[in-house]
Structure 1
Amino acid sequence: ENSIYGRCTVGDRWSSQQGNDANLPDGDRNWSNRNTFGAAEGATSDDFKNPGYYEIRAEDMSVWHVPNNFPLEHWNLAAILRYHTENHFLRLYGGNLFQMFSQYPVRYNVGSPGNRGPAIPILYDHGDKESTKMLYGPKSRGEFEPGFITFRAINERAAMAICSGVKPVRGYNTEHYCIGGGGYFYTDQCGDFPSFDWDRLGMEQGWSASKEITESAVLLFYR
């Protein structure tokens, strides 16, 4: 997320750079296309996607949340959260996220909250269930269970790509704790971190996520 204040503006490559538009329900489609951009060394400063996203055949994933602008050599130690999967779930979905999101498109009006994709148990490398829970807003904590990574969550009608570290279990306000998306959301939600600042940026009140997670890059690795 290059600017939490931009609503599907330039730089929101993991949702839409074309404005909040119901006529573009898929947005930029970068979860399910072969577009590439950015550089690995700058991945905590700007969006990055390489051909490995769609070419690698993997079994599992690791996810790191690293504060913005940290250099590559410090990512491991700087991360506020690191976890991985071990159940080889990608075998069931074509071996990578490109294939998974082809099966579970990140698109406005694709379904209801009950039509979310898989929720996969995670093992923590840095952090735990309690620290994960505290990264999101007080109201959000009542809607999810920590200890999972969830794919293609849906609120009332808008789809988000990933709920990092959590699984929605009740309610449908996933825009406050899931990332990525299609091209249309409810007013003031469209973007790569859709509505992490609903009750003011980084205030950890109401639905607002913590400053820590809002100002960190999400790095996805295949295993």
Structure 2
Amino acid sequence: MLDYTLFLSLVVLVSVEHASLAPAPLQIVNEELTHTEAIRDVETPLNLTRTNFERLENLSNRSRYVARSCKEIMDRYDEREDGLYFLTTANGMVYQTFCDMTTAGGGWTLVASVHENTHYGGCTVGDRWSSQQGNNADLPDGDGNWSNRNTFGTAEGATSDDFKTPGYYDIVAEDMSVWHVPNNFPLEHWNLAAILRYHTSNRFLRLYGGNLFELFKRYPVRYNIGSCSERGPAVPIVYDHGDRESTKMFYGPKSRAESEPGFITFRPINNERAAMAICSGVKPNTGCHTEHVPNNFPVEHWNLAAILRYHTSNRFLRLYGGNLFELFKQYPVRYNIGSCSNRGPAVPIVYDHGDKESTKMFYGPKSRTEFEPGFITFRAINYQRAAMAICSGVKPTTGFNTETFASHSLNEG
């Protein structure tokens, strides 16, 4: 398995009403039928034009809704589809955000996302939730955005940049949901791409003013605010995808020994006396190691942790000596072996988890226009005439942009 670092966006939603009912099976069936019909329409150009127009008209009609939360939209207008909606604050400000209308009864409103794209750029421009002014002990509150009314970002770009809506301080909520989504996934794939999804169910926000804005006024995220024993509340969670064991694997070895999974902890404080806003998924119990490290999954959690899983089914290895050893003797992975047209075989795949659209999101913008998803390509060659052993998930069609990462296994079949 090739090792890589996965940067995540923490997508935070709230619910104004305790939701104890699971979505009805009929709703799930209807969603699947709608998706199938949409695919069928895409394959027919005439239907594509008509369906897109009707779809845009339906989405446009959402701007007429008057509600302060997604729960109110669901109750007043009988909406059951996940997606973007318009909400209105108590002062009349209209804004757009994402509504999760299916998890745990639906009605969850996206109020914030916390995006990180590097281990080395802390407290620099773009780090709106901490500080854009560097690590400065003279500015212990950083930018203070956990407990002020600043807003930033867009709902559709919430996994590519920090995001905060007026709903963060305007909605009086009861519970909170968190999705761990890899960076840069488009909104329509968040649910599928999320490595973990969970929510609270005990209406804890009633005790802290009804939203995170009020909670963090009581528990300020401030440098040198206290010791690790002075953290905020630790609230138990219900898993929608994932479990306690997979949650533990997102933390470093020492942190795992000092924390208990199955909670959202507010305002934990680490060894350097720095207060973190949210320690998501765990409750520190003996120490102050709170760093989030999504890496080094043990073998027993590979299946759950995998963002994509697929296999070939055409017995192609029979043609190449029966294994990768023999295949790469026929197609050496060697610098300057040839041009991109000298690649090895491109073999179609069957998806076990994920799909062609989610596969495309693992490649850069230019690469996406130069390949076709749904294949494993052997001995792909890039612009620098470097041969890559496996271009996993795609088949290059016109260009040379082949950089990616992957994990591989074989079946004797």
User: Does the pair score TM above 0.5?
Assistant: yes
What secondary structure does 2:202 align onto?
A: coil
State the distance in 1 between where 2:227 and 2:120 align: 27
What secondary structure does 1:61 align onto?
A: strand
Query: Which residue of 2 is the match for residue 204 of structure 1?
Result: 296
Q: Once the two structures are superposed, what CA deviation does each residue of 1:57-99 show, in whole Å capped at 9, x if it has no partner?
A: 0000000011111110111111000000000000000000000
Paired letter, 1:46? D
Q: Quick one: which of 266, 290, 293 aligns to 1:151? A: 266
Asked if 1 retains the 8 angstrom alpha-carbon contact of 2:117 and 2:183, the reply is: no
Query: Which residue of 2 is the match for residue 41 of structure 1?
Result: 156
State the distance in 1 between where 2:182 and 2:123 align: 22
Mapping 1:30-109, distance limit 5 Å: 30-109=145-224
Paired letter, 2:120? Y
State the distance in 2 between where 1:20 and 1:126 align: 35
State the distance in 1 between where 2:252 and 2:270 align: 16
Q: Once the two structures are superposed, what CA deviation does each residue of 1:6-40 show, in whole Å capped at 9, x if it has no partner?
A: 13100111111100000000001010000000000
CA shift at 1:203, angstroms? 5.4
Asked if 2 retains the 8 angstrom alpha-carbon contact of 1:59 and 1:95, the reply is: yes
Asked if 2 retains the 8 angstrom alpha-carbon contact of 1:138 and 1:204, the reply is: no
What secondary structure does 1:41 align onto?
A: coil
What secondary structure does 1:58 align onto?
A: coil
Q: Quick one: which of 287, 292, 295 aligns to 1:171? A: 287
1:160 matches 2:276: yes
1:142 matches 2:234: no
Mind listing any 5+ residue stretches in structure 2 that lack a counterpart?
1-115, 298-304, 306-413
CA shift at 1:139, angstroms? 1.9
What secondary structure does 1:86 align onto?
A: coil
Asked if 1 retains the 8 angstrom alpha-carbon contact of 2:131 and 2:143, the reply is: yes
What secondary structure does 1:83 align onto?
A: strand
Asked if 2 retains the 8 angstrom alpha-carbon contact of 1:44 and 1:67, the reply is: yes
Asked if 1 retains the 8 angstrom alpha-carbon contact of 2:250 and 2:295, the reply is: no
CA shift at 1:3, angstroms? 2.7
Q: Once the two structures are superposed, what CA deviation does each residue of 1:149-173 show, in whole Å capped at 9, x if it has no partner?
A: 0000012311000011000001112
1:21 matches 2:136: yes
Quick one: higher RCO (CA 8 Å, sep 6+), 1 or 2?
A: 1
Instruction: Please tell me whether Structure 1 or Structure 2 has the larger radius of gyration of its CA atoms.
Output: 2
What secondary structure does 2:253 align onto?
A: coil
Asked if 1 retains the 8 angstrom alpha-carbon contact of 2:254 and 2:289, the reply is: no
CA shift at 1:140, angstroms? 1.5
Q: Once the two structures are superposed, what CA deviation does each residue of 1:190-217 show, in whole Å capped at 9, x if it has no partner?
A: xxxxxx4xxxxx6539xxxxxx8xxxxx
Asked if 2 retains the 8 angstrom alpha-carbon contact of 1:15 and 1:28, the reply is: yes
CA shift at 1:135, angstroms? 1.6
Query: Which residue of 2 is the match for residue 183 of structure 1?
Result: none
Count of matched residue pairs:
182
Asked if 2 retains the 8 angstrom alpha-carbon contact of 1:54 and 1:97, the reply is: yes
TM-score by length of 1: 0.79
What secondary structure does 2:188 align onto?
A: helix
Asked if 2 retains the 8 angstrom alpha-carbon contact of 1:117 and 1:152, the reply is: yes
Paired letter, 1:52? G
State the distance in 2 between where 1:112 and 1:138 align: 21
Asked if 2 retains the 8 angstrom alpha-carbon contact of 1:53 and 1:97, the reply is: yes
Paired letter, 2:209? G
Asked if 2 retains the 8 angstrom alpha-carbon contact of 1:94 and 1:100, the reply is: yes
State the distance in 1 between where 2:168 and 2:295 align: 34
- Change over 3 Å in CA distance of 1:77–1:103 after alignment to 2: same
- Change over 3 Å in CA distance of 1:36–1:142 after alignment to 2: same
Q: CA RMSD of the aligned region, Å?
A: 1.4
